[in-house]
Amino acid sequence: MNDLVITAALLIALLLILGSGVWVGLTLTGVAWIAVTLFSSRPAGDAMAVTVWGSSSSWTLTALPLFVWMGEILFRTRLSNDMFKGLAPWVQGLPGRLLHTNVIGCTIFAAVSGSSAATCATIGKMTLPELTRRGYPEHMVIGTLAGASTLGLLIPPSIIMIVYGVAAEVSISRLFIAGVLPGIMLAMLFSGYIMVWALRNPQQVPAADGKYSFMQKLAASTSLIPVVSLIIAVLGSIYSGVATATEAAAVGVLGSLVISALQGSMNWATFRDAIMGATRLYCMIAFILAGAAFLTLAMGYIGLPRHLAEWIASLGLSQAQLIVALAIFYIILGCFLDGISMVVLTMGVLMPTVQAAGIDAIWFGIFIVLVVEMAQITPPVGFNLFVLQGMTGRQLTWIAKVTMPMFFLMCVAVTLIYIFPGIVTWLPQQMMR
């Protein structure tokens, strides 16, 4: 049967099952079962059992539930309130004032969370009521929060980097290091946008609460000590070579437990809620990973990865054209799938083509993270949009509209790392010598 017909049939089946409300993991498994049963001679049950076990028994993947658990513990501590107290005095003098707490808060929390949704929920609980109460425009508060919370995927430790590292067989530690400078660059783009908007609309920015002396700012900054200490412990253990990404995740869990205990917010109920929340979230992620691995295997059986790679190669695209095509492809795919499914489902197909085009695997990992970030704020399957809809009660379309400037800033970030690839590759080269 023609490959195009098979691909179209599987794509239609995928979209129909997803549209019916079936879980993503079950959808991927079901479509894979159809593909193996109809278009290959191998028994589907045997293939599924081997693939699901293999995808769930990876030692590298152990870092994933640990980072999820760390984020859940911090979510239930006083970290968010302390972070606002420490940041607010420093941004009062900037154009846009306290709107920058969205960006800086998300940047800091991203360095200990690894999850975009967790970053959005945690920082949103802190800044949404506070900034609204102080009179900041709702569209700017929600828009900047939605965009900045995607930094949870880019600034290490990052769940999506772990998934990409496992799927593409590249060093997770090098990926973590490579994400630092692009993450800072994207945060600066977000803050720059806030400044430009504030200078153009000064009447919409509330007056400063008052002036703080340098010593008062330093005193307020003591509230940031717990989270900064945790960042140093987690990232320092990786960058120094003392710990692998998995071992650093264990350090993060231990550090978050210590912080919550010292803050007096750790009790049996908090511990139980954190571990149950992490279990539910990781089970969802693991189910998606298993289904995507089975679907990837099914696509391999019927030859789609090889034929797709040959087709893309036959187009004679330049490296720049290939990057543009892949960016558009992932943005469209992100309208229907979550980031983890996007990465696992496509790596087996695209990595040979990417490597043949001479694109560095570490650079491509950061590129993938950036375009997956875009998918977090594009309807109808934008996880950050869902989180904000639940927190604010606003319509999904309205939230997507006010977030569009952040989407275009991410497009600028992708352009910058292509023109200046050293933004991604320089730091790993220095740290891993």
In this predicted structure, what is the pLDDT of residue 419?
93
One-letter identity of residue 54: G
Q: Whose CA is closest to 107, among 120, 94, 97, 96?
A: 120
Number of domains composing the chain = 1
Question: Residues 101-115: what's their mean pLDDT?
Answer: 80
Q: Is residue 156 left, alpha or beta, with left meaning phi > 0 and alpha meaning psi from -120 to 50?
A: beta
* Mean pLDDT score, 166-189: 89
CA 414 – CA 69 distance, rounded (Å):
30
Q: What percent of the chain has pLDDT over 70?
A: 90
Angle between helical axes of 361-375 and 180-200 (0-180°, round to 10): 40
Q: What is the mean pLDDT of residues 380-396?
A: 76
> pLDDT value at position 74?
75
**Number of neighbouring beta carbons within 10 Å of residue 388:** 27
**What pLDDT was estimated at residue 140?**
92
Amino acid at 50: V
Encode pLDDT of 13-70 as tens digits. Answer: 776 776 677 777 788 788 888 888 877 777 777 778 877 777 677 676 777 788 778 8
- DSSP for residue 380: S
Q: What are phi and psi of 114, to 5 degrees?
A: 90, -5
The mean pLDDT of 344-370, rounded to a whole number, is 85
List all residues 6 or more positions away from 27 whose beta carbon is below 8 Å from its beta carbon.
Answer: 14, 17, 18, 291
How far apart are the C-alpha atoms of 330 and 326, rounded to whole Å? 6
C-alpha to C-alpha distance for 30 and 14, rounded to whole angstroms: 8
- Locate tokens 């558009």: which residue? 328
State the pTM of this model: 0.75
For 72-89, how does the pLDDT look when each residue is reduced to its tens digit (9 = 90+)?
787 777 766 677 778 778
**Over the chain, what is the mean pLDDT?**
81
- Nearest-angstrom CA–CA distance, 199 and 33: 56
The percent helix, strand, coil of the chain (3-state, each to 5) is: 80, 0, 20
- Asked if 365 and 178 count as a contact pair (C-beta separation under 8 A), the reply is yes
d(CA 63, CA 60): 6
As a whole number, mean pLDDT of residues 107-122 equals 75
Q: Give the integer Cα–Cα distance in Å for 42 and 260.
A: 51
Structural domain including 203 reads 3-431
Q: Mean pLDDT throughout 311-317? A: 72
Q: Mean of the pLDDT values across residues 312-328?
A: 82
